[in-house]
């Protein structure tokens, strides 16, 4: 079988991200919205939009709710993203992202989202089995919909691995804990998610490195730990790198982690070494942070940022 180096992303619980800009947002007070926008999102969909912005083909699958699926289908058509979503009853959630442009703080309100049943899951597995025969890299990302068993990502990862595909898993809580039992090729937790996964607080560089080393020893090939504006630790069996983004004025940090995953996987399919995958991921993440709402940065911006990303074997993230 001649597999294409296309990236398929799996989003079981998509969202319309409603980003509201409120200067000096005050909890418990009346707050007035200055600007707002809505973007089709959910982690896997965000990964696909960045993959496309970087000039690579992307295919998306997962569940969409039939009551508002049109909005997503139209978006995929506009962005020239191959659309293999399975429709289920209901509507994708609307997640609220409150950006305080004075402090730069983002408050996220994420709803539980779609519900799926056994038939829905069977239909999706059939779609994914077909795609696995054709494509090589899969990014499974985000929370599980209601009704999905906690080991659903583990099951999908196992199915994809059996067919020789590579999986990057980006989730949190029980979905991530159960998912890694199927040993995905790579994972991309943020610092908090990594702490929850290993069951300990990770405050120092040594603590993070030891958690990463434990995961690599368990068979995961690449681990990316994102730490917001401070950057990321990116590791495989041979090296552990620290990557710092250039200082930028953030417009919305929502989806920055998804952009990092997208750039990293694009680097992998281009056959780049780990340091360059980390650099491309970080440049894509930084470019997305500058954009309003949950959007990809343009490829020209990513290219300009590449040389300003610092990749080091020394302690730069926790210095």
Min dist CB 119 to ligand F1X, Å, is 22
Half-sphere exposure at residue 86, Cβ-oriented, CA atoms within 13 angstroms: 22
- Residue in 61, 157, 251, 253 binding ligand ATP, rule: CB under 6 A: 253
DSSP letter at 102 equals T
Residue 285 interacts with ligand ATP (CB under 6 A): yes or no: yes
Establish if 232 lies at the interface with ligand ATP (CB under 6 A).
yes
Q: Catalytic residue at 236?
A: no
Residue 120, phi then psi, degrees to nearest 5: -60, -45
What are the residue ranges of helices labelled H in the chain?
Answer: 43-53, 69-79, 118-134, 152-162, 173-179, 191-198, 205-217, 256-269, 274-290, 299-306
What is the C-alpha to C-alpha distance for residues 294 and 43, in angstroms, rounded to an integer? 10
User: Under rule CB under 6 A, which residues in 86-105 are in contact with ligand F1X?
Assistant: 95
Ramachandran class of 15: left when φ > 0, alpha when ψ lies in -120 to 50, beta otherwise = beta
Among 6, 79, 110, 310, binds ligand F1X (CB under 6 A): 110
Which C-beta is closer to ligand ATP: that of 44 or that of 257?
A: 257
By a kind-dependent CB cut-off of 5 to 8 A, residue 59 interacts, out of ligand F1X, ligand ATP, none, with none
Q: How far is the CB of 237 from ligand F1X (least distance, A)?
A: 27
| Min dist. Cβ of residue 41 to ligand F1X (A) | 3
Rounded distance between C-alpha atoms, residue 105 and residue 200, angstroms:
26
Contacting residue, 167, 168, 250, 311, with ligand ATP by CB under 6 A: 250
Pairing of the two strands 222-226 and 186-187:
parallel
Query: Residue 257 interacts with ligand ATP (CB under 6 A)?
Result: yes
21-to-14, 96, 99, 290 alpha-carbon distances in Å: 22, 11, 5, 14
What is the distance between the alpha carbons of residues 319 and 317, in angstroms, rounded to a whole number? Answer: 6
Minimum distance between the CB of residue 214 and ligand F1X, rounded to whole angstroms? 23
The span from the CA of 225 to the CA of 246, in Å, is 17
Binding partner at 143 among ligand F1X, ligand ATP, none, C-beta below 5 to 8 Å by kind: ligand F1X
CA distance 102 to 24: 6
- Which listed residue (227, 234, 287, 296) binds ligand ATP by CB under 6 A? 227
* Count of Cβ atoms closer than 10 Å to residue 131 Cβ: 20
- 8-47: which residues touch ligand F1X (CB under 6 A)? 13, 15, 17, 41-43, 46
| Shortest CB 254 distance to ligand F1X, Å | 5
Contact residues for ligand F1X, defined by CB under 6 A: 13, 15, 17, 41-43, 46, 95, 108, 110, 142-143, 254-255, 257-258, 294
Q: Which residues are catalytic?
A: 258
Contact residues for ligand ATP, defined by CB under 6 A: 190, 226-229, 231-232, 245, 248, 250, 253-258, 260, 282, 285-286, 289
């Amino acid at each position: 079988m001649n597999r294409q180096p296309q990236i398929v992303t799996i989003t079981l619980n998509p969202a319309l991200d409603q980003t509201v800009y409120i200067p000096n947002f005050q909890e418990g007070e009346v707050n007035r919205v200055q600007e707002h926008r809505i973007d089709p999102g959910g982690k896997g969909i965000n990964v696909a939009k960045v993959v496309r912005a970087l000039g690579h083909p992307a295919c998306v699958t997962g569940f969409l709710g039939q009551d508002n699926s049109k909005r997503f289908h139209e978006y995929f058509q506009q962005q020239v993203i191959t659309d293999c979503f399975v429709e289920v009853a209901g509507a994708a959630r609307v997640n609220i992202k409150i950006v305080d442009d004075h402090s730069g703080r983002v408050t996220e309100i994420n709803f539980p989202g779609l519900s799926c049943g056994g038939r829905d899951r069977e239909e999706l597995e059939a779609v994914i089995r077909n795609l696995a025969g054709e494509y090589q890299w899969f990014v499974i990302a985000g929370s599980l919909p209601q009704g999905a068993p906690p080991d659903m990502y583990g099951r999908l990862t196992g199915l994809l691995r059996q067919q020789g595909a590579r999986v990057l898993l980006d989730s949190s809580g029980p979905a991530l804990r159960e998912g890694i039992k199927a040993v995905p090729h790579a994972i991309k937790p943020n610092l908090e998610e990594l702490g929850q996964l290993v069951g300990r607080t990770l405050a120092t560089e040594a603590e993070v490195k030891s958690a990463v080393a434990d995961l690599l020893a368990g068979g995961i090939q690449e681990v990316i730990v994102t730490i917001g504006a401070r950057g990321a630790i990116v590791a495989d069996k041979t090296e552990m790198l620290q990557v710092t983004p250039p200082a930028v004025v953030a417009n919305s940090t929502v989806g920055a982690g998804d952009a990092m995953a997208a750039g990293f996987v694009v680097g992998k399919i281009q056959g780049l070494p780990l340091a360059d995958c980390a650099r491309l991921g970080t440049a894509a993440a930084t470019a997305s942070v500058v954009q309003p709402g949950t959007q990809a940065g343009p490829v020209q911006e990513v290219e300009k940022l590449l040389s300003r990303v610092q990749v080091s074997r020394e302690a730069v993230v926790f210095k």
